[in-house]
Amino acid sequence: MHFELHGRTDADARTVLLSSGLGGSGAYWADQIPALAPHVRVVTYDHRGTGRTGGDVPEAGGIGAMADDVLKILDALGIDKVDFVGHALGGLIGLDIALRQPSRIDRLVLINAWSKADPHSGRCFDIRIELLEKSGIPAFIKAQPLFLYPAVWMAERPERMAADEAHGIAHFQGRTNILRRIAALRAFDIDDRLADITHETLVMATKDDLLVPWTRSNRLVEGLPNAVLDLVDHGGHAVNVVDPDPFNQRLLEFLERPDDTKASAP
């Protein structure tokens, strides 16, 4: 597993682990690392089957196997407990750890995540799989930003879109890996177990997310005993990339508040 440490190195520093979504790359958090590093120790990593970790996603195991990879990283670093920040699929990993190994997580942040996939998200994944199977990798990669970013944001950044597309094709994680990762997130369902997760939780969502309806985040807040909703109008699925400064501020406010302060939306 490829992982990196950033930020504070003193023994008293809180540790924040960042887990990305379907793409799986720790580089997804490039806009968050500089904001977090002066305040906390930051751990990023590339999911199994992606980025510099590479290899094959296990055929069986699903989100639980991905969570086990995170626990192995923490064990290798000698870290007992982290604040866990997960985007989409990464949030599912955090929820799995919170259920199976609750002592390993202090605060939990879920960004455009879910306890059970919405049928609309399933439709989006069906479209993406069909593109991959019938039109090939370039078509799959070209369509990817449509599910991540608002239209105007993309229209104003044609050079970035072209560069991201070229990078995505060159570093594609592989047909089998992407299909297994999609299958894992579609199979994930802890909707009837949310009450068992008592961690202080910030649920962050955007109303214009094309891939995951914000009502999935609202469901998380309804079911989790100690969660608050941070809902914004704009930012798409990848809100931390589209509008990083206010996102980072809200995230830090949650992570840095005193332990004895009741959770509230930033």
**CATH code at 247?**
3.40.50.1820
Residue 114 lies in a domain: yes
93: DSSP letter = H
- Give the start-end residues of each E strand in 95-174: 105-111
Residue 262 lies in a domain: no
| Residue 205: its H or E element | strand 201-206
- Are residues 201 and 173 in contact, defined by beta-carbon separation less than 8 angstroms? no
Q: Is the pTM of this model over 0.85?
A: yes
Question: How far is residue 111's CA from residue 245's CA, in Å, rounded to a whole number?
Answer: 15
Residue 246 lies in a domain: yes
- Give the start-end residues of each E strand in 37-81: 41-45
Residue 264 lies in a domain: no
Q: How many domains does the chain have?
A: 1
Domain containing residue 228: 3-256
Residue 42 lies in a domain: yes
Residue 266 lies in a domain: no
pLDDT truncated to tens, each residue of the chain (266 aa)? 999 999 999 988 999 999 999 999 999 999 999 999 999 999 999 999 999 999 999 998 999 999 999 999 999 999 999 999 999 999 999 999 999 999 999 999 999 999 999 999 999 999 999 999 999 999 999 999 999 999 999 999 999 999 999 999 999 999 999 999 999 999 999 999 999 999 999 999 999 999 999 999 999 999 999 999 999 999 999 999 999 999 999 999 999 988 755 555 55
Residue 263 lies in a domain: no
> Which residue matches tokens 């999609």?
182
